Chain A
Amino acid sequence: MTTELFTQYLFAGITYGIIYAIVAIGFNIIYNTTGIINFAQGEFVMLGGMISISLNPLMPLPLAIGFAVLLTTLIGALIEMIFIRWLVHPSVLRMIIITIGISILIREVALHIWGEGVRSLPYFYGNEISSINILGTHVSPQVLWVVGICSVIVALLSLFFKFTPLGQEMRACSANRLAATLCGINAKNMVTLSFMLSAGIGALAGCVVSPITYTQYDCGTGLAIKGFTVAVLGGLGNSMAAVAAGLLLGILEAFSIHIVPLAFQDAISISILLLILFIRPHGLFGSSEAAGLKEF
């Protein structure tokens, strides 16, 4: 393998990996506040991309992206308020079916609005053939946008959770909901906020990666599965670990093209999912005792 090919794979892996990580963080935020795994997480990414593509002809790109993220965030809030907010102690199975149902609905609505076609946002800088020379390899500037924006998302999120009052309230909610309520924190609003946050970051990721991966009405499902794989790989609920795990999965997938036919590429991430679930379900960075205490 030449150095050039190696670096190509590496950057491809990092690009996809960090997107998986964002989806995983979206899972983690909602999981931490509610214990629910939101199967519709991938659809937020798809919606971000699709909405911004539709808005793009009407306004400059940054505005289109901004509105797309805003709209998707609102959709996230709506979903929570319509379907989730008023449930009392739902069982795991019930939540799984409801969120899968939501995911199917969003997908079908997207199909009827945007059709089956594959679309994409224009490149933020240059076009599909422009490239920058990094480490002797030609890399699209869009890759830098993806890595840059996603890193900013991760950094802002950790600052938000650590230092802002709202972020700390959300953390309190996820640690012990009852105690948080007793402290005057409105837990129900925290849940809505977590959905909004997950939807927002998902949408932004969807916009920024659209020129490279294209966007299609059904691209959400695959992303959700890979995002969940990454979340479990890092340890459910641990967002920093999700970043590491995401990069790991992305790079593994990218390099696997060298050995495995393209048709089986998906099988790689699923095999990793099954492997981690069978051998170490609390994730690479999680502890089994802490995981045992949480009620998934």
Chain B
Amino acid sequence: MAVKNYLSVLILIAVVVFIQLATKATDTSYYLTQLTMTGYYSLVIIGLCLVMGYAGQISLGHAGFFAIGGYTSGALTTYNLTLLLEQGNGLVSFLSDKGLLISTLDLYGEAVLYVNPWLAAILAVILTACIAFFIGIPVLKLKGHYLAMATLGFGIIIFRVVLATEIFGEADGISEIPGFTLFPGVCINGDFGNRVMNYYIAWGLVLIGVILLLNLIHSRVGRALRAIHGAEDAANAMGVNTSRYKLYTFVISAVFAAVAGIFLTHYNGGIGPSEAGIMKSVRYVAIVAIGGMACMWGALTMGVLLNFMSLRGMFGSYDDAVFGAIMIIIMLFAPNGLLNLPVWQKISKSIAGKEKG
């Protein structure tokens, strides 16, 4: 892969570091909280960008995968296994012997035993991948409106499930989720002291995601995906196993969403049913469309801007309305995304023209 592709990654790193230093300098370190959350949401968005922009499949249910990741790891790390251990439950004893459980004391000094966040995270990812795989097989045979509705339906089912299940906290969601100690000294949680570290963890994750996806897009598989998006029949005739490629892409994007869900849940210390809601899924799709579907940087930029402003409450009670309005306006006037407007091309051409002449 050409060096120039990595150049944009370096710019991203520079911007990330610059912003953190800027907040330190202007004494606005509290922005880091929203910036960290924005980072995790961006992970969902770049995954969705792969599916929508390169494989050409719309998914109105990606919040569902985010929720599966977040809720699974959240539930596993808050469910108190002490009673089961005392009762001699085989699985729990096995896990305990292998050191896969963490035991602490809660606020009242009672013994609490829960699954190690690493194990919980791995299980959550595997669960999401499996669900995405099995849902993907029938869903990806659909096209257009049918695909949109099917994915919307999937998202709603997840929403209903978490809303109605006791272990997922029903309407209140799960709270008091413990921090996730990645390595000794590196912990994901909401403590103010760890703000800067968490900011870099989040954006480090985004960086890894961006690099992986850029690599994929510029590889043989990426070419095949673009071919599928462009002319699926012809891609098939050229030997591309289109259904399998679409499925794998879907699963990868679901895993990205799940990882974001897991990490953000530990960061926030909680998760609620709204994370699985239609509005969240619609937002992800809207941001990808606004940023320009095949332009990962566009989606990333728009995602950061819009999510940050939304999280800071800049839109007040008009949050959803603003998103709705932006969706409409951009799709009416800039259907290929904000960064693909003809005006940019005119500008870049005139700049190039000036250099030549």
- Decide if A and B touch, CB cutoff 8 A: yes
Whether the Cβ atoms of A101 and B144 lie closer than 8 Å is no
Alpha-carbon gap, A228 to B249, bound state (A): 27
Instruction: Determine whether the beta carbon of B145 is less than 8 Å from that of A98.
Output: no
Q: Which of B153, B321, B327, B335 contacts A90 (CB 8 A)?
A: B335
Binds B, one of A102-110, A152-160, A246-254: A102-110
A274 interface contact, C-beta 8 A: yes
Known contacts A96-B148, A101-B327, A270-B156, A263 near B164 by CB under 8 Å: yes
Given known A83-B332, A102-B328, contact A225–B160 (CB-CB < 8 A)? no
Given contacts A92-B145, A267-B160, contact A274 B335 (CB under 8 A): no
Which residues on A sit within 8 Å (CB–CB) of B349?
Answer: none
Q: Which of B43-51, B66-74, B77-85, B278-286 contacts A (4 or more CB under 8 A)?
A: B278-286
| B331 touching A97, Cβ below 8 Å | yes
CA–CA, A108 and B323, complex, Å: 11
A37 touches B328 (CB 8 A): no
Q: Known A97-B331, A273-B153; judge A108-B142 contact (CB<8 A).
A: no
Q: How many residues of B contact A (CB 8 A)?
A: 41
Within 8 A of B (CB), among A243-296: 261, 263-264, 266-267, 270-271, 273-274, 277-278, 281, 296
Expressed in whole angstroms, the Cα–Cα distance for A108 and B325 within the complex equals 10
Residue-wise, chain B 48-60 has the 8 Å CB interface mask toward A (1 for contact) of: 0000100000100
Segment 300-352 of B: residues with Cβ below 8 Å from A: 317-318, 320-321, 323-328, 331-332, 335
* Chain B CB within 10 Å, residue with most, of A104, A112, A225, A296: A104
CB-nearest residue of chain A relative to B286? A97
A232 CA to B142 CA, complexed, in Å? 13
Q: A266: which of B149, B154, B156, B323 is its contact (CB, 8 Å)?
A: B156
Contact A273 B324 (CB under 8 A): no
Q: Is A100 an interface residue (CB 8 A)?
A: yes
Check B146–A296 contact: CB distance below 8 A.
yes
Cβ contacts under 8 Å, B24 to chain A? none
Judge whether B204 is part of the interface by a CB distance below 8 angstroms: no
A93 within 8 Å of B (CB atoms):
yes
Identify B328's interface contact among A98, A109, A273, A296, CB under 8 A: A98
B294 within 8 Å of A (CB atoms): no
Q: Is B115 an interface residue (CB 8 A)?
A: no
| Chain B hits for A108, CB < 8 A | 318, 320-321, 324
Provide the main secondary structure of the chain B interface. Answer: helix
Contact of B150 among A107, A263, A264, A273 (CB under 8 A): A273
A92 in complex: contacting residue of B144, B160, B163, B324, CB < 8 Å: B144
- A-side contacts of B278, CB under 8 Å: 221
Query: Are B143 and A104 neighbours in the complex by a CB distance under 8 Å?
Result: no
What chain A residues lie within 8 Å of B142 (beta carbons)?
Answer: 277, 281
Cβ distance B132 to chain A, nearest Cβ, rounded Å: 15
A138 to B321, CA, bound (A): 43
Complex Cα distance, B279 from A242, in Å, reads: 28
Minimum CB distance partner of B329 in chain A: A101
Of A90, A101, A221, which contacts B324 at CB under 8 A? A101
- Indicate if the CB atoms of A105 and B328 lie closer than 8 Å: yes
The answer to whether A91 touches B143 (Cβ under 8 A) is: no
Residues in A with CB closer than 8 Å to B332 are 83, 87, 98
User: A97 to B164, Cβ gap below 8 A?
Assistant: no
Name B165's closest neighbour in chain A (CB-CB).
Answer: A263
Chain B nearest CB from A251 CB (Å) reads 20
B138 at the interface (CB under 8 A from A): yes
- Chain A residues contacting B328 (CB-CB under 8 Å) are 83, 98, 101-102, 105
**Residues of A contacting B145 with CB < 8 Å?**
37, 92, 96, 296
Question: Across the interface, do A270 and B143 meet the contact criterion of CB distance under 8 Å?
Answer: no
Give Cα A92–Cα B282 distance, bound, in whole angstroms. Answer: 15
Q: Is the CB of A263 within 8 A of B160?
A: yes
Cβ B320 vs Cβ A270 within 8 A? no
B153 touches A281 (CB 8 A): no
Whether the pair B149, A100 counts as a contact (CB closer than 8 A) is: no
List residues of A (57-112) whose CB comes within 8 Å of B's CBs.
83, 87, 90-94, 96-98, 100-105, 107-109, 112
Choice from B58, B156, B327 contacting A98 with Cβ under 8 Å: B327
Q: Is A96 a contact partner of B153 (Cβ separation < 8 A)?
A: no
In the complex, besides A108-B320, A221-B278, 11 extra interface pairs with C-beta distance below 8 angstroms are A37-B145, A91-B335, A97-B327, A101-B331, A103-B324, A104-B324, A108-B324, A264-B164, A266-B160, A270-B153, A274-B157
Closest 10 CB pairs of A and B: A104-B324, A101-B327, A108-B321, A263-B164, A101-B328, A278-B138, A105-B324, A92-B144, A270-B153, A296-B144
* Interface CB pairs A-B, < 8 A, 7: A93-B58, A105-B321, A225-B156, A263-B164, A274-B150, A277-B150, A278-B139
